[in-house]
Structure 1
Amino acid sequence: MTAPHIEVLPDKAALVERALTLSVQLIQDAIAQRGRCTLALAGGSTPKPLYEALAQTNLPWSFLHIFWGDERYVPIDHPDSNAGMAKTAWLERVPIPPQQIHPVPTAAGDPAADAHQYEQSLRSVFPDADVPTFDLIFLGMGDDGHTASLFPHTEALQVRDRLVTVGHKDGQPRITFTVPLINQARTVLFLVAGANKQHALSQVFAEEGDAQMFPSRLIHSQSLWWLLDHGAGQALLPR
């Protein structure tokens, strides 16, 4: 297993700047090598300034396919929608063809049915792959160690026979990529900010630990990056 790349940046602004540089390079490389770039986005407050910065770059937008690694079970115009946030911050401000933006469906009134529909959407873009290989998946991490909507001690952590499943937080359904789909990615990029993440990070990077309690331990992609601000990552710095 390849060791992860771990970088501790001075503050959140530096984290976003580093993430922008790395993301632009990965997007450009994917298009040069494979003729397109497939991305899965994260929600939350940490990636929003990255999306706003990406909106200011000059990329070959027509070659991007955009998905989401997870979504709250709310309409896209709801303030909690991951897709709604990304569209406002980035996607509505650049000329990505609309048919290449693939938000998670949340309108069926049945999360399992919408999860199945999203898996079919994935397979339409990756028709020849049993488990699709994304070029880049953005992830965050909560202070409980969850990532995407893979929460501690939930059934979603065990799913290995699907690409998309239903996660739960406090009794509320969410739709999420499964562990095998995330781990198939060429690159996974974690963006983690805040001192409240220190304990979870110490458990994620411990030599031995409980992945059911700290699900981010389950993520092992071909190339795994952790970009941390100083508040989150200071405990990992050499003494």
Structure 2
Amino acid sequence: MKKIIEVLPDGAALTVRSLDLILDKLHSAIQERGAFTIALSGGSTPKPLYEAIARQNLPWDKIHVFWGDERYVPSDHPDSNFRMAGEAWLNQVNLPASNIHPMPTEQADPATSAHLYEQELQDFFKTAPGEFPAFDLILLGMGDDGHTASLFPHTDALQVCDRLITVGNKDGQPRITFTVPLINQARCVLFVVAGANKRPALAQIFAPTGDDLAYPSRLIQPQAELWWLLDQPAGQDLHSLTN
């Protein structure tokens, strides 16, 4: 695994560096395989990044957009990751509707939704049951509790290793989420993390030994590339951590 940690001066620099890295992976994927597959994260941190992507002149018909997790709310709900990405990026460009792959949240049962999205991934990537497809890039954030996607500390979702998609749990509220092995199959995993409130969790995640179930981001160890891009408030204690 190639692991790179970079600390950027501020949020603007974090966005610029994240954009550069995504564009590099995008152009390489299209050149090598004819398409680029990306899974998006939610929360407030990536919104400026999505707005920056929307300002680019890109081959939109060759870009396929998925989500790494989703709150179990309607697609037009203010808390919807799909809605945020649409407003910041996807609705602003000529991306074919068939290239946008939101997680279904309209079913009564979250487990049914998880199964439906798993089936969509298998159909798109042409993988067999039990086989994990490789996204070109999975974008992740991290909470101050060390969670990523909807993989929260000490929840059942952390133990799921035979599925692509499972049901996460945030204070009793269901979420749909990529599983750890699906994330770890990606060609590139990119964490974008901002804020001083993230420092205690980052110290645990970057420690040589620690509790993976207490800090789920420790479980993200992809076979290929792992990037951590941090703003100065989040990463001021980590300048020397590169390998």
Q: TM-score range by the shorter chain?
A: over 0.9
In the alignment, does 2:1 pair up with 1:5?
no
What are the within-5 Å matches in structure 2 for residues 1-239 of structure 1? 2-128=1-127, 130-221=131-222, 222-238=224-240
**Matched residue SS, 1:236:** coil
Deviation readout 1:168-192 (Å, 9 max, x if unpaired): 0000000000000000000000000
Letter in structure 1 aligned against 2:111: A
Which structure 2 residue ranges, 5 or more long, are not aligned? none
For 1:11, give the aligned amino acid: D
In 2, the alpha carbon distance for the partners of 1:203 and 1:128 equals 35
Structure 2 CA distance for aligned equivalents of residues 147 and 162 of structure 1: 17
How many Å separate the matches in 2 of 1:69 and 1:30?
A: 19
CA distance in 2, matches of 1:36, 1:124: 16
- Aligned-residue Cα RMSD (Å) equals 1.0
Contact 2:6 2:239 in 1 (8 A): no
> Is the partner of 2:43 in helix, strand or coil?
coil
1:228 partner letter = L
Distance (Å, rounded) in 1 between the aligned partners of 2:90 and 2:103 = 15
Q: Which letter maps to 2:239? A: L
Compute the displacement of 1:3 (Å): 4.4
Structure 1 residues 40 and 171: alpha-carbon distance in aligned structure 2, compared to 1, 3 A threshold: same
- How far apart are the structure 2 equivalents of 1:12 and 1:125? 34
Offset of 1:124 from its aligned partner?
A: 1.2
Q: What is the Cα deviation at residue 66 of structure 1?
A: 0.7
- What percent identity do the matched residue pairs reach? 65
Q: Compute the displacement of 1:96 (Å).
A: 1.3
CA distance in 2, matches of 1:59, 1:6: 27
Question: What displacement does 1:31 show?
Answer: 0.4
- Provide, for residues 169-226 of structure 1, a one-character-per-residue CA deviation record: whole Å limited to 9, x for no partner: 0000000000000000000000000000000000000000000000000001110000
Counterpart-to-counterpart distance in 2, 1:65 and 1:103: 11
Q: How many residues align?
A: 238
Q: Which runs of 4+ in 1 moved over 4 A?
A: none
Query: Using the alignment, how far apart are the partners of 2:198 and 2:29 within structure 1?
Result: 31
1:38–1:3 Cα change, 3 Å: closer
Q: How much does 1:94 deviate?
A: 1.1
Whole-angstrom distance in 1 between the partners of 2:91 and 2:162: 34
- TM-score between both structures, scaled by the size of structure 1: 0.98
